[in-house]
Structure 1
């Protein structure tokens, strides 16, 4: 090889080494930025999770309170309805014992009215079929 060719080859080799080192440096810098960005993103996710977890716990506790309160209201309403039914039953029993003849007549009239309504409904259904 000639001196010029050797110098050219050395220059090219040196330039190639410099380019390779620059590329490796750029890769390392990019990797560093990527790792830093991932670390920041991970920190943000952890912060968000730390902020969301207490909110979820608070919402869950509030829903449980509301459900318990709803159950209490339902039980109270059931108790009041049961008391009303018992009271009306007692009043009816007392009325029947105080006025037995009237009670029998009212029951018979009510039964006759219901039977008449059933007969009329049955006749109307039979007529509509044919």
Structure 2
């Protein structure tokens, strides 16, 4: 191989360009790593916030359901007390109402069975 000044100059320029390209690529890679790290950090924070929010929402839902169940239980208790008072105050009328309601329910059940073809 001929080692002329022009060849040496070309080799030197090529090496300089290659070194510069390598340095630029390393800088780009470092920037990409930093950006990816920042994005992952932000995403992690968002997921943590969402998890926390979902937990709070679930807790509120459980509390609301519990309150609704307690209110329903109180209302049913009031109806049961009122029914008990009515039965104790008017036993004959209560018995006649119960018999009529039972007969109506039995008639509905029998009619539904006949309509569906179930006769047993």
Same fold (TM over 0.5): yes
Asked if 1:100 corresponds to 2:91, the answer is yes
Question: What's the counterpart of residue 71 of structure 1?
Answer: 62
Give the gaps of 5 or more residues in structure 1. 1-8
After TM superposition, the structure 1 stretch with the greater mean CA deviation from structure 2, 57-66 or 102-111, is: 57-66
**Cα distance, 1:23 vs structure 2:** 2.6
Q: Which residue number in structure 2 is paired with residue 86 of structure 1?
A: 77
State the Cα distance separating 1:90 from its structure 2 match. 1.4
Specify the structure having the higher radius of gyration (Cα): 1
- RMSD value over aligned CA atoms? 2.2
* Greater percentage in helix: 1
Moved over 6 A (4+): none
Query: What CA distance in whole angstroms lies between the structure 2 residues aligned with 1:29 and 1:16?
Result: 20
Where does the alignment leave 5 or more consecutive residues of structure 2 unmatched? none
Aligned residues: 117
- Secondary structure, counterpart of 1:122 in structure 2: helix
CA distance in 2, matches of 1:56, 1:77: 31
1:34-93 per-position Cα deviation (integer Å, ceiling 9, x unaligned)? 000111111222222333333333332222222211111111001001111111111112
